[in-house]
Structure 1
Amino acid sequence: MARQRSEAVAAAMSKSHNIRNMCVIAHVDHGKSTLTDALVYKAGIITEQQAGQRRFTDSLEAEQEKGITIKSSSVSMYYELDDQILGDLKRDDNGFLVNLIDSPGHVDFSSEVTAALRVTDGALLVVDAVSGVSVQTETVLRQALSERVQLTLVINKVDRCILEQKLEAEELYQKLSGIVARCNALIATYRSTDDSTYSDEHFNPILGNVAFASGKQGWAFTLNQFATFIAEKAKVSKDKYLNRLWGESYYSSENKKWVSYEQSRTIDDAKRGFNQFILQPLYQILNACAELNMDEVQKLLSKIDVKLSADKLDASVLDAKKITANVMKRWLPAGEAMLHLIVLHLPSPVQAQVYRIKHLYEGPQDDQAACSMKACDPNGEVMIYISKKIPAQDGSRFLCFGRIFSGTVVSGTNVRVLGPDYRPGSTSDLQIKNITSVGVMVGDRCMPMNSVPAGNVVALSGIDKCLVKTATITTSPDAHNFRVMKFSVSPVVRVAVDAKDPTDHAKLVEGLKKLVQADSLVQVLNENGQHVIAAAGELHLEICLADLEKTHARCPLKVATPIVTYRETITAESRQIAFTKTTNKHNKFFMRASPLEPGLAEAIESGRISSKQDPKERSKILVEEFGWDLAATKKIWAFGPYDNGPNMLVDGTRSVDGLGTIQDAVVAAFQWTSQEGVLASENLRGARIELLDAEIHRDAAHRRPDQLIPAIRRCLLASLHMAAPRLLEPIFLVDIECPTRMIGRVYATLNKRRGQISEEEELSGTTLSRVKAFLPVNESFGFTEELRHSTGGTAFPQCQFDHWALLPGEPFELNTKCGLIVTETRQRKNLPEQIPALESLIDRQ
């Protein structure tokens, strides 16, 4: 059987119209992995009994323990659909290959969602019918839109609204309708102005791109399915019912006719079409099963033409939940409804690559590589984007997981591995390697293939040692890079680690290298001889440390107290012009610092403004939105740190002889200073520094970099010192669901930790409330445990990095919060305890 599946997958790979690359995205605990099981079962990989319980894509030990997805996991599955369902859909035949990726819902693992979206063309957005659209729902939807991924919607846990919340049919309709409207509002808010693939009313049950489901009970349906059932019974056209099963269409059973909302108010038995034809039979069956009224169950089953064996309905052996699942899985199998969503409403690679390549590829849109990718050409040059690395089962090597946009990859192929810093025509960040094997992922194992053509996801062996996290793989000597992925979270929580046994130090160093490769977001830094791991939050850090100890380093660890990453900024213009000169007195520099305009730092961090974009486009945004002088926009020398950070170096000089000879030195000093600011050597954020004037010696021997860079750095630091420098602290947005009676305890816990309430709302139809608050990351350690303890385990918080805010207090006053943190940070980094005095930085003219 497994061999037959493998052969079917291999055969379907070359039929690009019949491929769907998609992922499942949602807030944590909204039911992604449980729903995914229904598709895995329909593909014949797990049994019916396992579906909904097994969580096939959660293969890691930590995932099973915590009951959440931590790493995105891919499954390639083959299905056959009949002509009646497919209609006039463009296809090669009736066999479809679905490359599904189940992604995490917890915000700490958002980088895994980004990596999954980069290699897919469509997504199932899952929303819990009870909780509604949550914080992380909004985040993953925004991520999908930024990657130009098409969306369909699954509203899950509908059974809980019926059986637990006891909602009336009209109340349930209003709730479901509200979720659809909220998701459409988010799309209208976040979609790019140049993205024509979405309308403001994108999700519409009548169009068939919305499904209603219960992953735990294994059932789901679309309006199209119910319209087909009803039409077959009534022996009329499906279209007669489809448009009336959602919205303001009402049916009078007595008059046997459809009426408008206004007419329905005068007719006693007029009910909304959705309630009458869909919710009514659903309520009847669910309630009959829950009450174990087996006579009623048998009567209803005969009405809907569902036959079940006696052992599946044996109330003396099975409980109500099991019987409900048996009935509903047979009547409305979840795998079938979701497969309809995927095949009929998500694009094939041939369709998607036409518009996605414009967004993903950095090179000219008319070069050979771009044209091959837009055509999804299996005979073109190989173009692959590696989005993540998967540790092999023995932990020694990694599989490189990515998407083939053009060409066909075969084991033994020599390829060019382009790192993120590669520039066409250069040899930096370029390696040529041999691919030793190719395959596709099925959960935690790799299924080997002879070759994999364009339009598919792929797992490659043999090239893992020449790339760190992501890379562009190509056989074309002229190809450019794919754009680097933008993550929605930042690594703001750090901890120093060491091996308990000094003899294991080499194992630790090797393990840290593997950890960086295995996790898309984690950073490993070396601070004063200490190994420091930077992660997105407490849970992410916990998982990273467990992976490091058990899988990558395989030695006991000594872990320090977690610390927080801060940023330095300035809050005023330099009170005077900073002046420095080189030690040989032959070169002089004059600089001034000022804060960036409100919103400009965020625009740079989001990629709207960057060093790589067209200068005319950048100038237009800076002039029109941020009030810059047009001449200044044309004299931007650098962004920093790392050439893409939220600080800018501007040339404000006039007629300086030899300026071009020192530009590299000025930029190098600026990059250094933007990485290590004046207060505590933390990264700088939100500063604009202008070189106002300079005197440069004509003789190159008197303006060597070792003379220039230290003097320019002092000038930069002095300009910041005189611009009211402050520390910025990272702030989490905390989303808390709890019983309404526990709100007071939630507020008390937040107040103890400098938390600020943003909004509070009661969840309609429940006894729950949702609180959104801002919480400093520095105060977040142990917050989850304290909150659960104070609310008796009933409050569920989720923390997501939201923004940077000024830390209270003055950095130059030791008794303030800001002053204490500056001192602690300087001590930790083995810097002099005092911030450098201004007199030690500037020179006298």
Structure 2
Amino acid sequence: MAGKVRYLDSREDEQERGITMESSAISLYFKLVKSAEEGKTIESEYLINLIDSPGHVDFSSEVSTASRLCDGGLVLIDVVEGVCTQTISVLRQAWIDKVRPILVFNKMDRLIVELKMTPHEAYLHINKILEQANAIMATFFTGDLMEEEATKLAAEKKQKSQEEEEFDENKIYDWSMEERDDSDIYFDPAKGNVIFASAVDGWAFRIQQFAAFYTKKLGFKEQVLQKCLWGEYYFDPKAKRVLLPKHLKGRNMKPMFVQFVLENIWAVYGSVIVEPDRERVEKIVNALKIKVLPRDMRSRDPQILLTAIFAQWLPLSTCVLLAIIGQLPPPKDAQRIRIPRMIYPNLHFKRNEAIEPTNETERALYDCDLSDQAPAVAYVSKMFAVPIDLLPENRRKQMTAEEMRERGRRQRDLRAAHALLDQTGEGIPLDAEQISALTEEAEALEIQDMKELKGERIIGFARLYSGKIRVGQKLYVLGPKYDPKYPSKHVSEITVDSLYLIMGRDLESLDEVCAGNVFGIGGLEGHILKNGMLASSLNDVKNMAGVKMESSPIVRVALEPEDPTEMDKLVEGLRLLNQADPCVEVMLQETGEHVILTAGELHLERCLRDLKERFAKIEIHVSDPIVPFRESIVRGELPVNKEKEGLVTPRGKVEIKISSKHLTLQVQTVPLPSRITEFLLEHTASIKAIVEEKLVKKNMENEDNEVQDALQDTGDGSTVVTNKFLSAKELREALEKEFALAKKEGGPFAQYWDGIVDQIWAFGPRRVGSNLLVNRIPGYVRKSFFEVDSTKSTEVSGDHADEVIKVEENEKALSILDVDFHIHTGFQLSTLTGPLCAEPVTGVCYIVQAVDIHPDDSANGDGEPVDVRSRLHTIQGQVIAATKEACKQGFLDWSPRLLLAMYTCDIQATAEVLGRVYAVISRRKGRIVSEDLKDGTHFWQIHALLPVVESFGFPDEIRKRTSGAASPQLVFSGFEMLDEDPFWVPTTEEELEDLGEKADKENLARKYMDMVRKRKGMFVEKKLVEHAEKQRTLKKN
């Protein structure tokens, strides 16, 4: 933990970069000896399962998987940089998973050596960072409290609506909230949940250590001194009293934390590093009553002496382990709070509320039952790959001295026996061919053994919540989609073939694991992809699998082997990578391309390195990064030619007839208000749940239903997932309110929002997106999308008599009912691949205003209708194509826009390199949002927005331009509209005068659109000859 070994950073690239990229665990044994009465001592033994998680935002999925296994956490903050974006994400993850945090202010040495702060300046600086961290915790607490109150009010409203409605003034206007004690959620050094540390110098301390040290000198009780050593408390040496600020009476005194804690640490650094003074160092060593070796005192490297002093005075490992034991709950206490929230994620719990178990399995989970009778229930948070030759069963074991002597004795006896046989001449002589055959066979066996020891083994990274697991035991594996209502689905049975104690880069074999421990388990390959559950019995088991990652994979690349014959190795390598990395997604596109999706550029680099060196072990050709876009529309200006011609139909209205002339479709396209689009994106999970519920009630689901797969998230971070699912009724009411507010705001489209919620036909794309298909066909009534009690097997619900337009009372006639589902399919296709560059559409409403069916009697001389139903399949296919084309034309009738995937970029830089940082951001089409000088430092905090498509190579360029003085942190923030029409050309006299007919000004939207179209093999409108008069003529020979 302290020092330069970096034991838990086992990967080569982790060692090279000096950062953690994968979560790795280690089990630490700690014996604590406490003094008791009458000079006796009490010994306590602890086993601490420590998981080291990455801090880089690209690997925040590793934090998500680790937090599910932990009961507490150490949140590290760079004391110079302060609270960063990733700090907030980690604290939020800890709050959601009910992981109790301890705050660690790391890199304290930088305040002394780099920033040259005085102890009092350092105290003020640290106090501000602590206030920021506590403010973040307060926002989480307030958010939960508001949600609890909203749920309570909704329940009261529901109960009141069922009774007789009476006007109750108190209930309507009572905005008071129940008071809750939030004192235990904050970080306070006096409570012991804050550590001050310098990991590179190997020291750390809490207030308690100095309180115990000064209690005899100052004559205070340790508990009193502990409360006063942090905050605005001052010590009067004459009166030997602790003073508050109001009692200072103008005296210039230092806070006790500065006087008794920081000044001592500053004195050590001052005597050893800043202004080396041998005599002063010896006085400090004697005063602290510590022993420093003479060779360390004589060392020319002051860092060695500094580390030696602090290792004796304030050892980091002891401080951290004591904080973990004292502040973090044991598994039994933690599981009573955490397990109910994992089993029932959609229920509302009060903070620190423990509920009673409903069955014996829950009781065992809540109590962390270690008995043999308790059911074994474990959660596998991720899978990780280990080289087969590094597994304990394949490692060469270290022989003891006795075993080595025994082996030597056997070898001597064997040599003596061979010598005796040679002398007596006994035995059968072998010819050259037999000797060669035996040699080749031995070599072949040796090569086969070496091949078996090569490759990777997939191990599960798990925690046992109750019971015991033994090698050879049979367990059920429950997938993330497991539902107790359907116990036969997403379940498989395995036999545990190996158990491991995870010790950083090494694994140690185990025969048995008890509840409360983190461990590795073999035998899950082919049964668990990313995460899952293990259970010894399916009775009363609830699914705890499924972790929402903080970072969505946004960057994708296509892969192919340089040697086409090695495609099978690439496929196998991708399979292993998909299991070993919790965040990466592997896809096989319709074009046959193998694509991987990663969280960022650094994550992509790590995945490609793993593929080439560990999993596939082949050379791979990688495409340029593929970044998702979105397509939308705005009102914009009307094209000049349409203004001159005059509009016969409203803008966005398209009427199209299918090729067989049997049907005419009329679709009105309008842009959705931004508030509606944001609402739909925020509640995508709720819409998905409603659609899935419909499918279940229609008995359409299969084990791996195609429609279920179509409902999966696109995996590019376009949706904002909330923890709370709204029911169909709640979602309908909330959407009605949003449309009412949109209508109240006015605008040119307000007339379209009357009664639109009950007319919603479908959402898209993938049935859950932010686009609407609305039914306003006269006489054609469908049930509301939000009614989930349908029993029909098609998308149409309700009584047929209310839905069918009676064109002719003839069975041969065509009806809207026959093409209902195909209009819906055309809408889904059009929103999945927009007209600009075949990217998903967002924020568009398609209103079907008419479907006119034309009887076809031209082919029959008797005047009877032709049997159109004989050509129904052809007509239905034409309806899909016509719907898609109508949506496309209506979309292009407005002013189209591209939405860019955006990163929020946080950079800390000094004033000297600020201009270079701005230049790089500007060149990358970024936008500065804010800039602030951090109090007490010379660092500027820059907050910017940067398009993902322009971000590749951005961190390296920043570091290069600033000579390493600035390093950016990129976090995906969503999609932002690029307010530029890709089809814009100069038309007015002013524009033509300024830009000319060719409009040499770069059109960014057009550039991005053409780039994507070219990559997808679509037509790109590009002039081969820009300036005919400027073509160069090659010289004739």
Query: Is 1:274 aligned to residue 257 of structure 2?
Result: yes
Other-structure match for 1:115: 65
Query: Is 1:374 aligned to residue 434 of structure 2?
Result: no
Other-structure match for 1:324: 306
Percent sequence identity over matched residues? Answer: 33
Kept after mapping to 2: 8 A contact 1:80/1:95? yes
**Structure 1 residue 727, shift from structure 2 partner:** 2.1
**Structure 1 residue 372, shift from structure 2 partner:** 4.2
SS in 2 for 1:243: helix
TM-score between the two structures when normalised by the length of structure 2: 0.68
Query: Is 1:818 aligned to residue 1005 of structure 2?
Result: yes
Other-structure match for 1:303: 287
Task: Using the TM superposition, name which of 454-463 and 64-73 deviates more.
Answer: 454-463
Structure 2 gaps, min length 5: 37-41, 149-179, 348-356, 389-454, 637-649, 684-718, 742-752, 784-791, 797-820, 854-866, 986-1001, 1023-1037
**Structure 1 residue 215, shift from structure 2 partner:** 0.5
When residues 62 and 179 of structure 1 are mapped into structure 2, their CA distance, relative to the original with a 3 A threshold, is same
Task: Using the TM superposition, name which of 299-308 and 164-173 deviates more.
Answer: 299-308
Other-structure match for 1:404: 464
**Structure 1 residue 208, shift from structure 2 partner:** 0.9
Query: Is 1:453 aligned to residue 514 of structure 2?
Result: yes
Kept after mapping to 1: 8 A contact 2:667/2:887? no
Which residue among 33, 38, 44 is the counterpart of 1:94?
44
Other-structure match for 2:921: 750
Which residue among 818, 833, 855 is the counterpart of 1:676?
833
Per-residue displacement from partner, 1:13-58 (whole Å, max 9, x unpaired)? xxxxxxxxxxxxxxxxxxxxxxxx13xxxxxxxxxxxxx1011110
When residues 352 and 710 of structure 1 are mapped into structure 2, their CA distance, relative to the original with a 3 A threshold, is farther
Report the AA paired with residue 405 of structure 1: Y
**Structure 1 residue 339, shift from structure 2 partner:** 1.6
Q: How many Å separate the matches in 2 of 1:78 and 1:602?
A: 48
Query: Is 1:146 aligned to residue 96 of structure 2?
Result: yes
**Structure 1 residue 175, shift from structure 2 partner:** 0.6
Other-structure match for 1:207: 191
Q: How many Å separate the matches in 2 of 1:158 and 1:717?
A: 60
Other-structure match for 2:810: none
Per-residue displacement from partner, 1:331-356 (whole Å, max 9, x unpaired)? 11111221222222222332333333
Q: How many Å separate the matches in 2 of 1:65 and 1:741?
A: 28
Task: Using the TM superposition, name which of 384-393 and 290-299 deviates more.
Answer: 290-299
Q: Which has the higher strand share?
A: 1
Q: How many Å separate the matches in 2 of 1:759 and 1:768?
A: 14
Other-structure match for 1:161: 111
Other-structure match for 1:607: 721
Q: How many Å separate the matches in 1 of 2:333 and 2:769?
A: 35
Q: How many Å separate the matches in 2 of 1:630 and 1:223?
A: 64
**Structure 1 residue 223, shift from structure 2 partner:** 0.8
Per-residue displacement from partner, 1:428-482 (whole Å, max 9, x unpaired)? 4433333322223111222232232333323221112122222233331654433
Q: How many Å separate the matches in 2 of 1:601 and 1:84?
A: 61
Other-structure match for 1:12: none
SS in 2 for 1:399: strand
Report the AA paired with residue 314 of structure 2: L
Kept after mapping to 2: 8 A contact 1:425/1:478? no
SS in 2 for 1:558: strand
What pairs up with 1:833-844 in 2 under 5 angstroms? Answer: none
**Structure 1 residue 325, shift from structure 2 partner:** 0.8
When residues 479 and 578 of structure 1 are mapped into structure 2, their CA distance, relative to the original with a 3 A threshold, is farther
Task: Using the TM superposition, name which of 627-636 and 752-761 deviates more.
Answer: 627-636
What pairs up with 1:522-601 in 2 under 5 angstroms? Answer: 522-527=584-589, 528-571=591-634, 575-576=651-652, 594-595=671-672, 597-598=674-675, 599-601=678-680
Which residue among 896, 902, 916 is the counterpart of 1:731?
902
Larger Rg over CA atoms: 2
Task: Using the TM superposition, name which of 582-591 and 317-326 deviates more.
Answer: 582-591
TM-score between the two structures when normalised by the length of structure 1: 0.82
Query: Is 1:339 aligned to residue 321 of structure 2?
Result: yes
Kept after mapping to 2: 8 A contact 1:745/1:790? yes
Other-structure match for 1:46: none
SS in 2 for 1:466: coil
Per-residue displacement from partner, 1:98-150 (whole Å, max 9, x unpaired)? 21111111111111111111222221111111221223222322332233322
When residues 686 and 355 of structure 1 are mapped into structure 2, their CA distance, relative to the original with a 3 A threshold, is farther
When residues 155 and 654 of structure 1 are mapped into structure 2, their CA distance, relative to the original with a 3 A threshold, is farther
Q: How many Å separate the matches in 2 of 1:292 and 1:105?
A: 35
Q: How many Å separate the matches in 2 of 1:538 and 1:471?
A: 28
**Structure 1 residue 512, shift from structure 2 partner:** 1.5
When residues 324 and 616 of structure 1 are mapped into structure 2, their CA distance, relative to the original with a 3 A threshold, is farther
Q: How many Å separate the matches in 2 of 1:388 and 1:558?
A: 28
When residues 367 and 240 of structure 1 are mapped into structure 2, their CA distance, relative to the original with a 3 A threshold, is closer
Q: How many Å separate the matches in 2 of 1:189 and 1:698?
A: 64
Report the AA paired with residue 548 of structure 1: L
When residues 679 and 370 of structure 1 are mapped into structure 2, their CA distance, relative to the original with a 3 A threshold, is farther
Which residue among 216, 227, 252 is the counterpart of 1:243?
227
SS in 1 for 2:456: coil
Other-structure match for 2:132: 182
**Structure 1 residue 703, shift from structure 2 partner:** 8.2
Kept after mapping to 2: 8 A contact 1:590/1:694? no
Q: How many Å separate the matches in 1 of 2:760 and 2:516?
A: 40
Per-residue displacement from partner, 1:756-799 (whole Å, max 9, x unpaired)? 11122223444332222111111112222322332233222222
Q: How many Å separate the matches in 1 of 2:346 and 2:971?
A: 36
Per-residue displacement from partner, 1:795-829 (whole Å, max 9, x unpaired)? 22222212211134324459833233333323322
What pairs up with 1:125-136 in 2 under 5 angstroms? Answer: 125-136=75-86
When residues 340 and 709 of structure 1 are mapped into structure 2, their CA distance, relative to the original with a 3 A threshold, is farther
Kept after mapping to 1: 8 A contact 2:34/2:43? no
Per-residue displacement from partner, 1:268-315 (whole Å, max 9, x unpaired)? 5x321111111122222222222442332232233233233333x322
CA RMSD of aligned residues (A): 3.7
Report the AA paired with residue 504 of structure 2: G
When residues 105 and 503 of structure 1 are mapped into structure 2, their CA distance, relative to the original with a 3 A threshold, is same
Task: Using the TM superposition, name which of 674-683 and 776-785 deviates more.
Answer: 674-683
SS in 1 for 2:4: coil
Query: Is 1:512 aligned to residue 571 of structure 2?
Result: no
Kept after mapping to 1: 8 A contact 2:898/2:1005? yes
Other-structure match for 1:465: 526
Report the AA paired with residue 625 of structure 2: P
Q: How many Å separate the matches in 2 of 1:654 and 1:405?
A: 59
Other-structure match for 2:794: 662
SS in 1 for 2:228: coil
Q: How many Å separate the matches in 1 of 2:758 and 2:509?
A: 53
**Structure 1 residue 197, shift from structure 2 partner:** 9.4
When residues 570 and 78 of structure 1 are mapped into structure 2, their CA distance, relative to the original with a 3 A threshold, is farther
Query: Is 1:256 aligned to residue 246 of structure 2?
Result: no
Q: How many Å separate the matches in 2 of 1:463 and 1:233?
A: 60
When residues 149 and 575 of structure 1 are mapped into structure 2, their CA distance, relative to the original with a 3 A threshold, is farther
Query: Is 1:66 aligned to residue 17 of structure 2?
Result: yes
SS in 1 for 2:475: strand
Query: Is 1:393 aligned to residue 455 of structure 2?
Result: no
**Structure 1 residue 178, shift from structure 2 partner:** 0.7
SS in 1 for 2:254: strand
Kept after mapping to 2: 8 A contact 1:511/1:553? yes
Query: Is 1:797 aligned to residue 779 of structure 2?
Result: no
**Structure 1 residue 412, shift from structure 2 partner:** 2.8
When residues 627 and 700 of structure 1 are mapped into structure 2, their CA distance, relative to the original with a 3 A threshold, is farther
Q: How many Å separate the matches in 2 of 1:637 and 1:514?
A: 42
Other-structure match for 1:783: 954
What count of residue pairs does the alignment treat as equivalent?
776
When residues 801 and 615 of structure 1 are mapped into structure 2, their CA distance, relative to the original with a 3 A threshold, is same
Other-structure match for 2:713: none
Report the AA paired with residue 506 of structure 1: D
Report the AA paired with residue 5 of structure 2: R
Per-residue displacement from partner, 1:390-435 (whole Å, max 9, x unpaired)? 1022343211113333343333333333333344444444333333
Kept after mapping to 1: 8 A contact 2:930/2:942? yes
SS in 1 for 2:594: strand
Which residue among 259, 269, 276 is the counterpart of 1:286?
269
